[in-house]
Amino acid sequence: MTQEELFKKLIAHSKEYGFVFPSSEIYDGLSAVYDYGQNGVELKNNIKRYWWESMTRLHENIVGIDAAIFMHPTTWVASGHVGAFNDPLIDNKDSKKRYRADVLIEDWIQKQEDKINKEVEKARKRFGDSFNEELYRQTNPRVTEITAKKDEVNHRMVEALQQNNLPEIKKIIEDCEIACPISGTRNWTEVRQFNLMFETKLGSVSDEANTIYLRPETAQGIFVNYLNVQKTGRMKIPFGIAQIGKAFRNEIVARQFIFRMREFEQMEMQFFVRPGEEMKWYEYWKEKRMSWHRTMGFGDDKYRFHKHEKLAHYANAASDIEFEFPFGFKEVEGIHSRTDFDLSNHQKHSGKKLQYFDPETGESYVPYVIETSIGLDRTFLLVLSAAYHEEKITKEDGSTDERVVLKIPPALAPVKLAIFPLLKKDGLPEMARKIMDDLKFDFACQYEEKDTIGKRYRRHDAIGTPFCITIDHQTLEDETVTIRYRDTMEQERVPASRLREIMTEKVSITNLLKQI
């Protein structure tokens, strides 16, 4: 199965099993907006909890807030979003399709990297064990030629973006002979800047003064509240404020399912530090956040850091954590050293002092900030794509079958245990209900009595339920039940009275938190 096929299957599976639906689907959906279904919302809530507790419980010096989506419009002038939260866009005149100009160039660069990698692989086969990859990359004329060209284009793009030089971006597209993937032509418009913020009006009088924005990031709600929290919580630097909430961006090209949405959710934490100590904390948070990801157990090689060359207007260092999605390594989280940019600008625009008095040094200063910013929806997609498996299985009678199983970490799974009476008679449903009534206070349980046990297992494999409990005639005699494990499909007979203890150990989020 190609990665593209896998991705298509994942999207179909998400819909079929109640994880993600297109928004307002009966009206043919709304581009890049999605709704979470009955299983999706549970998975999403569990991811949120894993993140929230890793921040607020594991760090005594991090607390949470929940700021409003609407903020005073000057917030976005101070943060730089009104002036600079733009993407360069370009249209193809023949296909009428719109693209992000920088993404077209980045795709071209990626193609050059693919070409280089192909050459390297060919050479590896040719030379066998004696192959020296580094030397080959440095000396092979074709490889060095493509590398030099690619690096030059990258350099020109970074510079043009930094200087907001739109004609130069167009020139790069022309020089690289980039064609529209739909029409195949190079008939492009000029490059224009497009602000990604959604505007709306506050109150009933629609004049300019009432224009407000849907927040494009949650971070600013933290900055404007930092002194409120510091004072009321008697927080001492270094300390952090965490927040989970919706953000909105009018993305030019919305594609790849819930990877790039126009309404999405962020989990952000701003960590306030002494000026001059930011690099130490930047390294600390890079490492901590990577550990949070790896603890989910999808494989360390699925993640990598990507250091930013083109720094955002507020940052003095920035790295992304990238995950290998079916469509390649892509960003899920950003760790940014934001300096005192935001607080200083809010201080300037509001006329209010946002300084912190440091009792240890006896000085007042505007703190520096390290931010960790992760997309909840992207993490959701990460979990689904890493968890999705198609497996061939051999049944007890020797025949073969196939199953789709979501190997979601038990602590994050939407349903923790499914409870099945073997038959719909002989007092088995009553016994199953009794067990469920006892466990439902602690775990998300689902009761199912329809269809064969095999079919019930398949349904729960497909939504990632880690444990299925079957109640049979023996249960009536000795109060034992069978647990069937999702990943190994092994079964084990245990006393029903031990279920709570066994489940607590296996599905508790504490297990994940302890490993970070």
Residue 334 found at the interface with ligand ATP (CB under 6 A): yes
Residue 150 found at the interface with ligand ATP (CB under 6 A): no
Residue closer to ligand ATP (CB basis): 11 or 507: 11
Residues 251-270 close enough to bind ligand ATP by CB under 6 A: 251, 260-261, 264, 266
Tokens of 7: 């991705």
Residue 303 found at the interface with ligand ATP (CB under 6 A): no
Residues 439-478 close enough to bind ligand ATP by CB under 6 A: none
Residues 193-222 close enough to bind ligand ATP by CB under 6 A: 217
Mapped onto helix, strand or coil, the DSSP state of residue 507 is: helix
Residue closer to ligand ATP (CB basis): 50 or 457: 50
Residue in 7, 46, 14 with CA at minimum distance from that of residue 416: 46
Q: State the minimum distance, in angstroms, from the CB of residue 330 to ligand ATP.
A: 7
B/e letters for 485-504, b = 16+ CB within 10 Å, e = fewer, are ebeeeeeeeeebeebeeebe
Q: State the minimum distance, in angstroms, from the CB of residue 326 to ligand ATP.
A: 16
Tokens of 407: 């190997």
Q: State the minimum distance, in angstroms, from the CB of residue 146 to ligand ATP.
A: 25
Q: How many angstroms separate the CA atoms of 80 and 183, rounded?
A: 36
Which amino acid, one-letter code, is at 375? G
Q: How many angstroms separate the CA atoms of 334 and 495, rounded?
A: 47
Please select the residue that binds ligand ATP; options are 35, 106, 168, 331, rule is CB under 6 A. Answer: 331
Residue of closest CB approach to ligand ATP:
375
CA distances in angstroms from 142 to 135, 154, 175, 179, 461, listed in the order given: 13, 18, 19, 23, 49
Q: State the minimum distance, in angstroms, from the CB of residue 32 to ligand ATP.
A: 8
Residue 286 found at the interface with ligand ATP (CB under 6 A): no
Residue closer to ligand ATP (CB basis): 274 or 289: 289
What is the CB neighbour count within 10 angstroms for residue 168?
16
| CB 365 within 8 Å of CB 355 | yes
Q: How many angstroms separate the CA atoms of 281 and 370, rounded?
A: 7
Q: How many angstroms separate the CA atoms of 5 and 447, rounded?
A: 33
CA distances in angstroms from 387 to 3, 299, 325, 406, 465, listed in the order given: 14, 11, 11, 5, 12
Please select the residue that binds ligand ATP; options are 40, 221, 245, 375, rule is CB under 6 A. Answer: 375
Q: Which residues pair with 211 in a beta bridge?
A: 201
Candidate ranges 350-358, 373-381, 458-466, 477-485; the one touching ligand ATP (CB under 6 A): 373-381
Note if the bond before 275 is cis, omega within 30 degrees.
Answer: no
Q: State the minimum distance, in angstroms, from the CB of residue 477 to ligand ATP.
A: 53
Tokens of 485: 């494990």
SS3 for 132-178, per residue? CHHHHHHHCHHHHHHHHHHHHHHHHHHHHHHCCCHHHHHHHHHHCCC
Q: State the minimum distance, in angstroms, from the CB of residue 103 to ligand ATP.
A: 9
Residue 249 found at the interface with ligand ATP (CB under 6 A): yes
Residue 374 found at the interface with ligand ATP (CB under 6 A): yes
Candidate ranges 198-206, 326-334, 360-368, 505-513; the one touching ligand ATP (CB under 6 A): 326-334
Residue 484 found at the interface with ligand ATP (CB under 6 A): no
Residue 377 found at the interface with ligand ATP (CB under 6 A): yes
Residue 338 found at the interface with ligand ATP (CB under 6 A): no
Candidate ranges 111-119, 295-303, 374-382, 454-462; the one touching ligand ATP (CB under 6 A): 374-382
Q: State the minimum distance, in angstroms, from the CB of residue 338 to ligand ATP.
A: 11
CB proximity list for 332: less than 8 A, separation 6 or greater: 293, 320, 321, 322, 323, 374, 375, 378, 379, 382
x-or-dash pattern for ligand ATP, window 94-133, by CB under 6 A?
A: ----------------------------------------
Mapped onto helix, strand or coil, the DSSP state of residue 492 is: strand
Residue closer to ligand ATP (CB basis): 332 or 354: 332
Residue closer to ligand ATP (CB basis): 335 or 463: 335
Residue 230 found at the interface with ligand ATP (CB under 6 A): no
| CB 389 within 8 Å of CB 404 | yes
Candidate ranges 237-245, 325-333, 437-445, 505-513; the one touching ligand ATP (CB under 6 A): 325-333
Tokens of 431: 């016994």
Residue closer to ligand ATP (CB basis): 14 or 465: 14
Which positions lie near ligand ATP, rule CB under 6 A?
217, 249, 251, 260-261, 264, 266, 331-334, 373-375, 377-378
